[in-house]
Chain A
Amino acid sequence: MTLVYLLIWGTWIAFGISTIWALHWAARHGHLSDPEGAARSIFDDDEPPGQMTDFFPGDGPDGDPSLMEGSHD
């Protein structure tokens, strides 16, 4: 049982430390300072917010133009 305690406590502590280290790294490198920018980082100029990017085959972006227009934000 000692080994299992070591294993479990070891990983709990190691994972905890690595989590806090990652949080520290993120803060130090400015990854927590611009949430708006990060949230928008998945969009591109040609796939901007407001544009749907997945359709059933055949529907396509041409199928229903109303889905392509206007941002809801």
Chain B
Amino acid sequence: MTDDSPPPTSDSSASSAPMPEGSPDQESSPRDMVDRARIDASCRGPVLFFFLTAAAWLLIGSALALLASIKMHSPEFLSDTEWLTFGRVRPAHLNTVIYGWSSLAGMGVLFWLQARLSRAELRFQKLLYAVGILWNLAIAGGTVVLLTGRYLSIEWLEFPVWTAALLGLGFVAVMVTSLDTFRRRTHHHVYVSQWYLFGAVFWFPILYVLAHAMIHLGGATGVAQATANWWFAHNVLGIWFTPIGLAAAYYFIPKVIGRPIHSYYLSLLGFWTLALFYNWAGTHHLIGGPLPVWLTTVGTVASMMMFIPVITVAINHHMTMIGHFQKLKFSPTLRFIVFGAMSYTVVSFQGSLMSLRIVNETSHFTHYTVAHAHLGMYAFFTMVLFGSIYYIAPRLTGREWASARLIKIHFWSVAVGMIMYFTGLSWGGWRQGEQMNHDTMPFLDIVAELMPYFWSRSVAGILMTVGHIAFAILLWKMWRGEGQKRLRARKLEQQQEGPTLLARPEEDS
């Protein structure tokens, strides 16, 4: 980011302008508006930096995903370049989208939500920039290492130990910043989203450091390594991405449609049951493996218990939206977030059922699981991130998005792409599982039968990538300040005779 970066209205000349109290004839109270604008301004630099770099990783991750997908049906594609062989691009895809796109964008949303809900400004901007830069460099370096093939083949933990150490430091900084914002809250109520954010920032960093220490320092080998691996990998979704995604959904659905959440009591019940059960669920990944039966059974029981938080969230979001579905037509944020929230219900039900041995014996080691993973990380979490960014970024820059058409292209191409991806691979994967359980069926015949589903995944991947390109263009234009100035921003300027919305917080005081 350069110093002369837009938005060009950033100007300290108006900083001394008095803030008039709202007069009765004004349609809104400027005090709340000014407070929100000041908090948004404190988030602007770091959060935009996290969003922009996240979008870059999304594009890189999509390219790697397409490569891996094409190689499934056309193995000769770029196969003479060793850096681009399947065994390397596949972990590179996973790690760039998890730690690059999802974590960076998720942290941006987390900072903004925590600041807005605490009604306190975000501090430590320089630290956050440093964390962002370090994080990006660590992922870039780690990805190059993955592409050279020198990595430990433990899924979700492939990054070299120095990358993991840098990311671990980053997580700790995120924890400190979030706590700092919360401690300076100027509002009595702790909203349900904040509880979810606490879950993410307090538990996950501890887990991340412990899991890497176990794997990389040799504390866990063999069966123990697989156990530590899946206990960790499931928790990345369970206590890092899921709480951030649900925190965003619990804020944006009521906020966008202008209606309080249907049952606040249920939302709290959902949070505390999730907090108690989710981190037990990971061992269901090892059903049928050579480890004590009680260990996988605990995972299955916890997965069944997850029905409680999932059903509470589903009821709550649905009852809040009822009577307001026509608003999906008008709000980009709502479209993406409602798509994500619905997917959360589906993926969670599916995940709980997949932890049952009777389902698992067919679904395990098939593309059905791959479809399920994408339903969680993409249809739920990534869609919620898109929706959140569509809400947050205009409030950071004071600009509207540059093109409604590009937003619609983004939504429809990723929505159709994701549904196609999920349907094709679930169908094909389940058949694959049934066929693999028949020991008379030759393995190669099973692979050949999967071909049309592999092709459908590549086409779906192209659609989703088109959407990502539209999103990246929009975000780039947003950063360049190419959209129209927001109505609120204009109003604030009129009331304060200057563009205080976009002034730095320290200039305001």
Which A residues have a C-beta under 8 Å from some C-beta of B? 1, 3-4, 7-8, 11-12, 15-16, 18-19, 22-23, 26, 30-32, 34-64, 67, 71-73
Contact = CB atoms under 8 A, between A and B. Distances in A.
Contact of B190 (A38, A40, A55): A38
Q: Which of B29, B187, B407 counts the most chain A CB atoms within 10 A? A: B29
B260 A54 contact: no
Contact of A72 (B189, B324, B403, B407): B324
20 contacts: A1-B227, A4-B228, A7-B231, A8-B227, A16-B276, A31-B189, A36-B264, A38-B189, A39-B254, A42-B251, A45-B32, A52-B256, A52-B331, A54-B334, A54-B391, A56-B330, A57-B407, A61-B487, A64-B330, A71-B259
Interface of B: 28-33, 36, 117, 187-192, 195, 198, 202-203, 206-207, 210, 214, 219-220, 223-224, 227-228, 231, 251-252, 254-261, 263-265, 268, 272, 275-276, 279-280, 283, 323-324, 327, 330-334, 390-391, 400-404, 407-408, 483-484, 487
Nearest to B26: A46
Given A56-B331, A60-B487, A44 B32 contact: yes
Nearest to A57: B400
The list of the 9 closest CB pairs from A to B, nearest first, reads A46-B28, A35-B264, A44-B32, A41-B189, A57-B400, A39-B260, A39-B264, A45-B29, A54-B331
A7 B214 CA distance: 9
A38 B264 contact: yes
A55 B31 CA distance: 23
> Which of A11, A37, A59 has the largest number of chain B CB atoms within 10 A?
A11
B308 to A, nearest CB: 14
Contact of B258 (A11, A34, A52, A55): A52
Contacts of A19: 272, 275-276
Given A8-B231, A46-B29, A47-B32, A53 B260 contact: no
Contact of A22 (B191, B198, B263): B198
A35 B265 CA distance: 6
A41 to B, nearest CB: 4
